Amino acid sequence: MLHTFTGLEGDGANPFAGLIIDKSGNLYGTTYGGGYYQLGTVFKIAPNGTETVLNYFTGLKRGEFPEAGLLMDKGGSLYGTTEKGGSDNLGTLFEVSPNGQEKALLSFDGYYGGAAPVAGLIADSSGNLYGTAPMGGLYNLGVVFKLTNK
């Protein structure tokens, strides 16, 4: 076992999604709960098991409850989605920079933009991000979305 989550003192809790790994063997993931506000975290686990929490979700526009895994670009920035939070509390697409700075790149609106994204993201060779949201769209049955020029 490399790490046991406690949910205490800012540690994460409930990692639902899979992990990604960088060239140095560090593992990255999200927790649905835990963190200082109990709204989830983005974490890194070093090969020796040392955990670093890179981001604590604070709710509102910055997002809350990341359920999906992460995607890493060539520069080391991490991308993912939150189920809640954002302008309409319908989820966000976020970026966490290598130094831990988080920002919401997109707030889901529940209509054409979809709502409550819980699946992972993919990227094309131009850096566009794609994903799905199970709610929203014309018939409120979900959407496939694309974020260009992140």
Residue 141: pLDDT over 80: yes
In tens, the pLDDT along 46-59 reads 999 999 999 999 98
Specify if 118 maps to a domain: no
Specify if 21 maps to a domain: yes
Residue 42: pLDDT over 70: yes
Integer CA distances (angstroms), 56 to 24, 53, 112, 145, in order: 23, 7, 28, 25
Please give the average per-residue pLDDT across 127-145, as a whole number: 95
Residue 150: pLDDT over 70: no
Residue 113: pLDDT over 90: no
CB of 111 closer than 8 Å to CB of 85: no
Specify if 81 maps to a domain: yes
Q: Is 79 helix (H, G, I), strand (E, B) or coil?
A: strand
Specify if 91 maps to a domain: yes
Range(s) of the domain holding residue 41? 12-109
Integer CA distances (angstroms), 149 to 76, 106, 114, in order: 17, 12, 19
In tens, the pLDDT along 85-104 reads 999 999 999 999 988 889 89
How confident is the model at residue 148, as a pLDDT?
Answer: 93
Domains held by the chain: number: 1
Rounded distance between C-alpha atoms, residue 48 and residue 104, angstroms: 31
Residue 29: pLDDT over 90: yes
φ, ψ at 60 (rounded to 5°): 50, -135
Specify if 126 maps to a domain: no
Specify if 115 maps to a domain: no
Contact partners, residue 40, CB within 8 Å, separation at least 6: 12, 30, 31, 32, 33, 34, 56, 57, 64, 65, 66, 82
